[in-house]
Structure 1
Amino acid sequence: MSNRFRSDPRLTARMTVTLFLLGLLYVLFAAALIALLKSWVLVVVVAGLLLGAQYWYSDRVALYALRGRIVEAEEYPRLHGVVDRLCAVADVPKPRVAVADMDMPNAFATGRNADHAVVCVTTGLLRRLETDELEGVLAHELSHVAHRDVAVMTIASFLGVLAGLVVRFAFYSHMFGGRRDQNTAVVFSVVMGVAAAVYVLSFLLIRVLSRYRELAADRAGALLTGRPSVLASALTKVTGDMARIPTRDLRTSQAFNAFYFTPALGGRPHLARFFATHPPLEQRLDQLGRISVELGEAPAAGPGKAD
């Protein structure tokens, strides 16, 4: 990379392996659909249109779904000031800056590449964090952009989206398609079985990659600012305040957990963590503690002042 975010060979290797496995799964899935549906044109066209739409419009969809809007420096000078400083230090293009009007304290990055990236924070996050803590969170999000995490996760999640749509299509076609012969019923049953298996496998692969990319973003953000303890402070504060947000409000944002700084739902049983998009808070804090020792970080000074 030409920017000053440290390269992460382990992250690159995991992304490559995950995409390879998902690609192999996609080829097998497409081959099964073509064999069963007897129409490779339909499969290729539908898959291509879905992937293109998901890749090109991921930023707009995310902002719309989470009520985010692009804001200018005159409206949010503190937020823009932090982004400007981090982009200058990291030597990366400045993304568009957005704010989502919701009390849930969180942030996310979206967009297919650095030139079309958007970094969005919620008003709840801006109210709760001091300027230095906000800097740590935004360094984490800019790391996602620099490492092309958003594009990789968008492509990786496509297979699961396609498989899920196939399952629903097959189910409703079978339920409401009228009278069908036995062969047609068998074909649709096989399609549903294959699609369901593909969805489960892609789901698990994406979750493994997502948990590691969050640790990688924590590490890169902490090294960029040189203040791991500040990022740890922001993590602790945001996670603690998340428990005070009504569950019904958190569930409306749960679909975007993979892109969030912290998941919209916490306190899950141990088994559920295996399916989580983020590593446990304790693991993230332990890593930041080790980085702090490696850097010889001095104790944090007083909190930064908000504008």
Structure 2
Amino acid sequence: MNYFRTAVLLAGLAAFFMAIGYLLGGTGGMLIALLFAGATNLFAYWNSDRMVLSMYGAHEVDARSAPELHRLVADLAARAGLPMPRLFLMDNPQPNAFATGRNPENAAVAVTTGLMQSLTREELAGVIAHELAHVKNHDTLLMTITATIAGAVSMLAQFGMFFGEGPGFVGSLALMILAPLGAMLVQMAISRTREYAADEMGARICGQPMWLASALARIDDAAHRIPNPQAEHAPATAHMFIINPLSGHGMDSLFATHPSTGNRVAALQQLAASLGPQGRGAAPATQHGPWNRRSGARGPWG
């Protein structure tokens, strides 16, 4: 159902974009909108990962510079049937993470220093598994496309005043206000749908839904207290993170980039119950620093 809903929303967003082109410039405007969308998506396909990693000052780490983190990611990637992604570290006190890349063969997973300092090894495994689920589901490409089209809708609506044809001054003004809002709502709906899917698959990859549930609760609490300046300056990238990095976000709503954390935790608790004793492992709550401390309990991947 998640995949069907995502496909419908994405098709609706593309149709919405072309409809705006038609309203502003007739058939010619619709064709221009289609060509513009294709060009921007082609550029995003090849360059979006480098752009966002550079935006957050992420630097690549490997088995030598971050051996335990690298080993954890490699083990989880193997469990997920994925090639080892490139691994990046962001010098940011807010615990958070995201995945990017046009396909599993060119994927990257980025985590903040705050994430590594705040979570246990088990919780970190849950977060990494969630990001690998995005890679496996090709969500990294999907969210790039939706963000690109949503941005193009805003740009096209702002250019509406300069079209020779169209709905007139008042209509163009209304379109300039309402079109970006509509595109943003569809983009957010797609993002929320993909988060639920990645939570479920990530929980299955690491084998313990409650590890991810515990991590989500801890990250959400910290994200309300610790600012993320880079994200505040680039709010269009907020949907990429496992938890909304922006200050002031609230519960599940039309304007939320993510489902509410309480809803996500509840869904993971239901999944844990359905998996039986194996999926109801106690969520760790005390020991932090998985890269330099052992919790004593090995994950199901090792």
TM over 0.5: yes
Contact kept? 2:24, 2:165, Cα under 8 Å:
no
Partner of 2:146 in structure 1? 156
Which of 232, 240, 249 in structure 1 is aligned with 2:213?
232
Q: Which amino acid aligns with 2:22?
A: A
Question: What are the equivalent positions in structure 2 for 1:209-228 lying under 5 Å apart?
Answer: 209-228=190-209
Which of 83, 91, 110 in structure 1 is aligned with 2:73?
83
For residues 70 and 286 of structure 1, what CA distance do their matches in structure 2 show?
Answer: 34
The size of the alignment, in residue pairs, is 287
How much does 1:136 deviate? 0.4
SS, match of residue 59 in structure 2: strand
Instruction: Output the TM-score relative to the length of structure 1.
Output: 0.83
How much does 1:250 deviate? 5.7
Q: CA RMSD in A?
A: 2.7
Q: Which amino acid aligns with 1:100?
A: M
Gap change, CA 1:196 and 1:115, over 3 Å in 2: farther
Contact kept? 1:111, 1:151, Cα under 8 Å:
yes
SS, match of residue 212 in structure 1: helix
Question: What are the equivalent positions in structure 2 for 1:10-29 lying under 5 Å apart?
Answer: 10-29=1-20
How much does 1:46 deviate? 3.8
Partner of 1:299 in structure 2? 282
Partner of 1:67 in structure 2? 57
Instruction: Output the TM-score relative to the length of structure 2.
Output: 0.84
Q: Which amino acid aligns with 2:204?
A: L
For residues 217 and 43 of structure 1, what CA distance do their matches in structure 2 show?
Answer: 32
Contact kept? 2:23, 2:29, Cα under 8 Å:
no
Contact kept? 2:191, 2:257, Cα under 8 Å:
yes
1:63-121 CA distance string (max 9 Å, x none): 11111122222111122111100111111111111111111110001111112211100
SS, match of residue 226 in structure 2: coil
How much does 1:184 deviate? 8.5
Identity of aligned residues (%): 32
Partner of 2:259 in structure 1? 279
Gap change, CA 1:269 and 1:288, over 3 Å in 2: closer
Question: What are the equivalent positions in structure 2 for 1:93-108 lying under 5 Å apart?
Answer: 93-108=83-98
Contact kept? 1:109, 1:119, Cα under 8 Å:
yes
How much does 1:148 deviate? 0.9
Question: What are the equivalent positions in structure 2 for 1:172-183 lying under 5 Å apart?
Answer: none
SS, match of residue 273 in structure 1: coil
For residues 220 and 129 of structure 2, what CA distance do their matches in structure 1 show?
Answer: 18
Gap change, CA 1:278 and 1:72, over 3 Å in 2: same
1:211-257 CA distance string (max 9 Å, x none): 12111111111112121111111111111122221476662353321
Question: What are the equivalent positions in structure 2 for 1:32-71 lying under 5 Å apart?
Answer: 32-35=23-26, 43=33, 45-71=35-61
Gap change, CA 1:77 and 1:166, over 3 Å in 2: same
How much does 1:129 deviate? 1.3
Question: Is 1:255 aligned to 2:245, yes or no?
Answer: no
Moved more, 139-148 or 49-58: 49-58
For residues 206 and 165 of structure 2, what CA distance do their matches in structure 1 show?
Answer: 60
Q: Which amino acid aligns with 2:259?
A: P
How much does 1:43 deviate? 4.7
For residues 221 and 236 of structure 1, what CA distance do their matches in structure 2 show?
Answer: 16
Moved more, 203-212 or 100-109: 203-212
For residues 184 and 55 of structure 1, what CA distance do their matches in structure 2 show?
Answer: 32
Answer with 1 or 2: which has the greater Rg. 1
Contact kept? 1:159, 1:199, Cα under 8 Å:
no
How much does 1:59 deviate? 0.4
Q: Structure 2: 5+ residue runs without aligned partners? A: 293-302
1:106-164 CA distance string (max 9 Å, x none): 00011111122111001111111121111100100010111111211222222221121
